[in-house]
Amino acid sequence: MLNRDVPPSAVINNLFGRGWGYDEWEAALKGQGYLMTETVKNEIIKRELEYFKDEILRFRAEPNTAAKGKDVPLTNSSESIMKRMQGKDWAKGKPREKDERRQSKRLLGKDAK
């Protein structure tokens, strides 16, 4: 029988930064004896925010280096930061950081919004 309680911090913290969606989280937690419930999902979201908070603030403080013009997203916008942290194309002329972020366990989950 799977445990419905929120997994200990050590279990969740060990799984952060892999770029997983909720399906992967559910499989990993199930393998460790925990059931993915809404409470567990909300706890993961809360801890993920704390885990990435300093990095988000650092990216937000970076100067915008995007070309000027209508419909050109800022390099330090929330959308660009989210894409960057997920390893996606985030700004024209800027490299994707997916492999480096995965290796350093700093890849934001693909279901993050």
The yes-or-no verdict on residue 113 having pLDDT over 70 is no
- Read off the pLDDT band of 35 (50, 70, 90): very high
- What is the per-residue pLDDT for 13? 87
- What is the per-residue pLDDT for 71? 62
Can you tell me the distance from the alpha carbon of 19 to that of 9, in angstroms, rounded to the nearest whole number? Answer: 18
**pTM beyond 0.75, yes or no:** yes
- What is the per-residue pLDDT for 72? 66
Highest-pLDDT range among 30-34, 63-67, 91-95: 30-34
**What is the residue type of 100?**
E
Q: Helices 78-85 and 38-61 sit at what angle, rounded to 10 degrees? A: 110
- What is the per-residue pLDDT for 9? 86
**DSSP assignments along the chain, one per residue:** --B-SPPPHHHHHHHTTB---HHHHHHHHHHTTB---HHHHHHHHHHHHHHHHHHHHHHHHSPP-SPPSTT---TTSHHHHHHHHTTS--STTPPP-HHHHHHTT-BPPTT--
How do residues 42-91 score in pLDDT, each as one tens digit?
A: 988 888 889 899 999 999 999 888 777 666 678 888 889 999 999 998 88
